[in-house]
Amino acid sequence: MRIFNSRLQISAYCITATLLLHAMPCMADADTNLAVNATVTASPCALVATPEVDLGAYTSSNLTTAGSTTTWVPFKVDLEKCPSTSTTVTLTLGGTTDPVYTQYYKNTGTSTNVVIDVVNDADGKALNPGTSTKINIDPKTHTASFPMKAQMVSPQGGATSGTVTGQMELTFFYG
């Protein structure tokens, strides 16, 4: 009988130890801190309209020599209803670059040997895919405007007849 009692006692100690181990996470100091994090951001500005830029109609003879270009066509990307908490907006451009002439946007139309060049109309800096430009938001009107211009370029010359099409992806960051 004595052996049975000691086994029973050992089992009772094991059960008690197991229960205490599971209960230990509940035994915390009264002043334990829990960290909670969140981010609150301002609502974005509204894009006034997505501009469709018409680069015009030219004959292939306008783009026969290497480096030949067409006339610049100005356009703007306008934002409105910017939150009063935002003072600047940064535009980052994306899109498909030409595989050979990576400073230009790829022409996905049917004309060959033609790429699309886009620059900042305010300072003439190239706005090729991957570049960014930053401007201030007007604090009174809560608007911002990115002036740009585009043209067709034939880096190697010998442009063929057809369509010229390209896309720019616009991503806005607010500060």
Give the closest residue to 126 by CA, choosing from 168, 88, 158, 87. 168
Band (7; pLDDT cuts 50, 70, 90)? very low
Cα–Cα distance measured from residue 25 to residue 153, given in angstroms and rounded to the nearest whole number: 69
What local confidence, expressed as pLDDT, does residue 49 receive? 84
CATH code for the structural domain at 46-174: 2.60.40.1090
Amino acid at 34: L
pTM reported for the whole predicted model: 0.75
Interval 27-37: pLDDT, tens: 556 676 777 87
Interval 143-153: pLDDT, tens: 999 999 999 99
C-alpha 104: how far from its chain's center?
A: 19
